[in-house]
Homo-oligomer: A and B are copies of this chain.
Amino acid sequence: MLLPQRVTLVDVGPRDGLQNESQPVDTSHKVALVHQLQAAGLREIEVTSFVSPKWVPQMADNAAVMAGIARPAGVRHSVLTPNLKGLEAALPSRPDEIVVFAAATEAFSQRNINCSIEESFERFRPVVAEAHRHGIKVRGAISCAVGCPYQGDVSADEVERVVRLMKEAGVDHCGVADTIGVGTPRKVQAAMERALKHYPVAEVSGHFHDTYGQALANVYACLEVGIHTFDASVGGLGGCPYAKGATGNVATEDVLYMLNGLGIETGIDIERLVDAAAGISRALGRPVSSRVGKALLARRERAAA
């Protein structure tokens, strides 16, 4: 089975990672993190979200972060904009891409954003139209695509229903997210295959949390069905607020290590990526939690000893 020759990693650490910190993180640390990611070779970065600071105080400095970062050619900066108000607030920051999301299950939709799946699409259809009017690409994320904390198992049919709604709404890219990290390789492949029925492979991505340690196996399984775009979070930042004990997104450096071993190109330098993980961990006052981060930092210590 041939694997993709090249993979794009989208670092969602500054947004999906840091929005789960109990204490808001200094704007300067966020800007420094984005710069370190760019220096490591990341070309897609989810920078912040434009949501009410009442709900997500961690992202209240969204415009300041966007204004503070360098915007070199070739790097795409995306922001989460769940509704029209968010998009309008985001526009002056000139995001390259916006992210909208819907849940794969009614239970999660109701409990997370307080509306049905169909209502969530009604809410973001105008967001898609307005973004396109400004020439901004729209990435859609389907949360709980392999498991839901309220419903339990999620079927591929349920995923495909939302994929189809995404397509009909004009969303350009379809991200399939295992929000609570319960997926295993074959279930993930089944969900991906439904997305691939409606989107070209270049516009389908995987987003895995490592709660049950399955994320890398799931990424590998996705590579086998041709998926070549993945979200990941430097240092494994973040967590799922709906599940105590849940870990964050799969660490970008853990995914990168596997891709390097598989001979797949990414354009990312693993040592500089670990610098970024170490930098933000230092700012947060805790050790790097990713396996690769820990192992490579320990290797550096040994080399320096």
Contacts and interface: CB of A to CB of B under 8 A. Distances in A.
Interface in A182-213: 183-187, 210-213
A168 B147 CA distance: 49
B291 A261 contact: no
Interface stretch (A77-85, A94-102, A169-177, A297-305): A297-305
Given A212-B257, A261-B184, A247 B291 contact: yes
A246 interface: yes
B212 A292 contact: yes
A5 to B, nearest CB: 13
Contacts of A1: 1
Identical chains bound together, number:
2
Contacts of A183: 261
A295 to B, nearest CB: 5
Interface residues of A, number: 41
Contacts of A298: 243-246
Given A185-B220, A213-B251, A251-B213, A295 B246 contact: yes
Contact of A213 (B212, B216, B297): B216
28 contacts: A3-B186, A181-B295, A183-B261, A184-B258, A184-B260, A184-B261, A184-B262, A185-B261, A185-B262, A186-B262, A210-B291, A211-B295, A212-B257, A212-B292, A213-B254, A213-B257, A213-B290, A213-B291, A217-B220, A217-B258, A220-B221, A243-B295, A243-B298, A244-B301, A245-B294, A245-B295, A245-B297, A245-B301
Interface of A: 1, 3, 181, 183-187, 210-214, 216-217, 219-221, 243-247, 251, 254, 257-258, 260-263, 290-292, 294-295, 297-299, 301-302
